[in-house]
Amino acid sequence: MKKVFFSLVCLLCVQVASAQKDSLAFDEGNNYIYYRVIDKPGLTADTLYKRGWDFATAFNPSARPAKGQAENTLNTSGKFLVYTGVSLMKKEGGQINYTINIQTKDQRYRYRISNFVFIPYQRDRFGNMVPIPGIEVPLEKMTAKYGKKETDNYLDQIGSFCISTGVKLKSAIDKQPAAKKAESIKKISTENW
């Protein structure tokens, strides 16, 4: 019974991991992309743009969002670490630089996470993991440089990052501004006491 239960748990974990990698797709230029279009009935393009701007500012405070070329479009960029190895022996394998593009119009918005670039890490003379200077590998060319197993590991981590970022963006867009309560001023009559 324990073997059957353990087998089912392992099978479920494998399906979840492969689903994260499958969330990335290719765009017209054969580049990896995470792309979603979401309907938000009742919200104007300006409201969605403002909430998207607030999300981009809070999500990565070190990088200021920039207005895009198209109307109601904003771009921001950032980076995150990817790890290599098994759970107890994990170490930083490198960092992934990315770009988020958010575009809004009345009652709908879309976002795209793309331009993934891998910068590998190595140990320095003090034992710290630091970026290797001058090496930047586009995600599309990772298999040729690092092999399928390591690339699949990084793709899974990138997929889970994109999914969690999409959830954070959706909750930021869904937020309702706090309605200010009208302050009721209590009047006291000093004539009747």
Domain with residue 67: its CATH number is 3.30.530.80
pLDDT value for 192 = 67
Please say if the pLDDT value at position 5 is more than 60.
no
The overall pTM is greater than 0.85: no
Output the CA–CA distances (angstroms, integers) from residue 110 to 56, 90, 152, 170, 172, in the order listed.
Answer: 14, 35, 27, 10, 14
- What's the CA gap between 142 and 20, in Å, rounded? 17
pLDDT value for 27 = 83
The residue-averaged pLDDT of 24-37 equals 88
* Higher pLDDT pick, 66 / 10: 66
pLDDT value for 147 = 86
The answer to whether position 192 is within a domain reads: no
The answer to whether position 108 is within a domain reads: yes
The answer to whether position 188 is within a domain reads: no
Give the domain range for residue 127: 20-173
**Partners of 100 in the β-ladder:** 76, 113
The answer to whether position 115 is within a domain reads: yes
The residue-averaged pLDDT of 23-50 equals 88
- Whether the CB-CB separation of 139 and 102 falls below 8 Å is answered with no
Nearest to 111 by CA among 55, 34, 54: 34
How many domains would you assign to the chain?
A: 1
Please say if the pLDDT value at position 65 is more than 60.
yes
| pLDDT tens, residue by residue, 79-104 | 999 998 777 788 888 999 999 999 99
- What's the CA gap between 110 and 50, in Å, rounded? 14
* Higher pLDDT pick, 119 / 147: 119
The answer to whether position 15 is within a domain reads: no
The answer to whether position 179 is within a domain reads: no
* Higher pLDDT pick, 29 / 183: 29
The answer to whether position 183 is within a domain reads: no
Query: In the chain, what percentage of residues exceed pLDDT 70?
Result: 80
The answer to whether position 44 is within a domain reads: yes
